[in-house]
Amino acid sequence: MKIVSVLLFGIICVQHQTSAASFGGHEGFFGIGRNTFDTRVIGGSNAERHQFPYMVALHNQGRHTCGASVVSPTWVVTAAHCCDKNMGLNCATTQVVAGQLHQFENHLDVQKASVAKVVIHPQYYYNGTFIDHDITLLKLASKLVFSVAVQPVKLPSANQVFTQGWLSGWGVYQRPPTLPVTLQYLKMDVITNNECDEILKHFEPYEQLPLIDSMVCAMPPSKGPETGCNGDSGGPLADDGVLIGVTSWAVNCGTYKENAPTVFTVVNKYLDFINAHVDDLPLRDGN
């Protein structure tokens, strides 16, 4: 039975942390099994306002489901599994929220848009034991107005190499599973797939999916427990405003582990896909 973490919501109970109370009812997709959580913190730090202006949240029926990144005034990029109807998700009914620092805040920076078109990669595939081409484009029904709070991420060049990046998102940041109110971020080291394969050998096979060429791995520099987790799916791994990857999956983050990779869809392998649909890209490469 796979208990790899495809990093969205569907089986385990998750709570929003607030300064006054917690709100239950959020469910977390955590592969297929139920998991026991300990009390150690996964990691990450509170972001500052305007620190990640390309970061957006996807909300469905008043709940946070995934992250995404602004690529143009009318398009955002996210993970395909965030829009997988087989998981009970429908991005056609999703609200895209840009410019926010705290979830569901009422702030002048915040811009919201509905989705006019969902473009899932035509070769996307996920069956619970294998995932590939985990990338989707969402066309917005109304344009985003760029500001200090809302900016597009740059796309990488086809052969651009990265050694580090910053993961950001509103995913689970604490065990027991708790969703943060404030955007979290974590510096990570980008490693080769060969290095990632060797590290994954230290974890149980049922806790992971096959690593393939459309993926890139990142690790916490501390080699500690920091990792992406439920709700981070679709969000960015970026360096200096250049998009490296779209958050896809991780070694089961439901139980405490150290030195576990987070795995991303590597964006520079999908530039043709992005350019074929997005006709208003303001920044066409990261150089």
Return the active site residues.
81, 134, 233
Tokens linked to 28: 């977390």
Tokens linked to 52: 């990640």
Tokens linked to 199: 């590290």
**From CA 256, how far away is CA 233, in angstroms rounded?**
19
**From CA 148, how far away is CA 192, in angstroms rounded?**
34
Residue 9 near residue 170 (C-beta atoms within 8 A): no
CB-CB neighbours of 179 under 10 Å: 26
CB-CB neighbours of 238 under 10 Å: 25
**From CA 122, how far away is CA 183, in angstroms rounded?**
31
Region of residue 104 (phi > 0: left; psi between -120 and 50: alpha; otherwise: beta) = left
**From CA 75, how far away is CA 17, in angstroms rounded?**
30
